[in-house]
């Protein structure tokens, strides 16, 4: 595991990206943050295309934070693509949502997200949450996210995909 992990944040809203980045920088030591505005850009980043070939400037991520703002279907298709790829199938993906929809959690799990995280509305709590995410990753990688109290368990009821 590298000393400074790289977190790829997939977020279409620049203001939200800045808030997430500020929160991630609250981790000690802070991770490197890469940004993709959408799923097509995230694919280009991972595959080293469209200007992302230099891994010194665009290192492969150790963790993906995927904002589940609309369009949800496109974001979940991206997770399915990732899980079907040979090179990136094991990359941990935390699906982030400000909404409290349990069906979104079920859909994210069915698509292959490592965990689903409800984002708190208070910025101070978001900073704590992102620091917890980075600390947990550093202590043992993606396997720990499944049992992490900050993640939402997949609901028992069935939700249409």
What CATH number does the domain containing 99 carry? 3.40.50.2300
Enter the pTM of the model: 0.83
Q: Check residues 158 and 121 and name the one with the higher pLDDT.
A: 121
Residue 158 lies inside a defined structural domain of this protein:
no
Residue 159 lies inside a defined structural domain of this protein:
no
User: Quick one: pLDDT at residue 125?
Assistant: 78
User: Quick one: pLDDT at residue 100?
Assistant: 60
The domain in which residue 132 lies consists of: 6-147
Give tens-digit pLDDT for 80-96.
999 998 899 889 898 88
Give tens-digit pLDDT for 95-132.
888 776 778 888 888 999 988 888 877 777 777 777 77
User: Quick one: pLDDT at residue 147?
Assistant: 55
Contact between 27 and 55 under an 8 Å Cβ cutoff? The reply is: no
Residue 152 lies inside a defined structural domain of this protein:
no
Domain count, the chain: 1
């Amino acid at each position: 595991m590298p000393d400074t992990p790289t977190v790829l944040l997939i977020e279409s809203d620049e203001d939200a990206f800045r808030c997430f980045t500020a929160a991630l920088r609250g981790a000690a030591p802070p991770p490197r943050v890469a940004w993709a505005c959408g799923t097509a850009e995230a694919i280009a980043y991972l595959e080293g295309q469209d200007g992302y070939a230099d891994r010194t400037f665009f290192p492969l991520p150790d963790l993906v934070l995927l904002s589940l703002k609309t369009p949800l279907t496109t974001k979940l298709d991206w997770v399915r693509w990732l899980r079907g790829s040979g090179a990136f199938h094991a990359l941990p993906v935390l699906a982030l949502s400000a909404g409290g929809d349990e069906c979104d959690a079920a859909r994210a799990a069915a698509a292959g997200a490592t965990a689903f995280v409800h984002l708190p509305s208070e910025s101070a709590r978001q900073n704590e949450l992102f620091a917890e995410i980075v600390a947990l990753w550093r202590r043992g990688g993606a396997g720990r996210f499944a049992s992490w109290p900050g993640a939402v368990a997949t609901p028992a009821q069935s939700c249409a995909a």
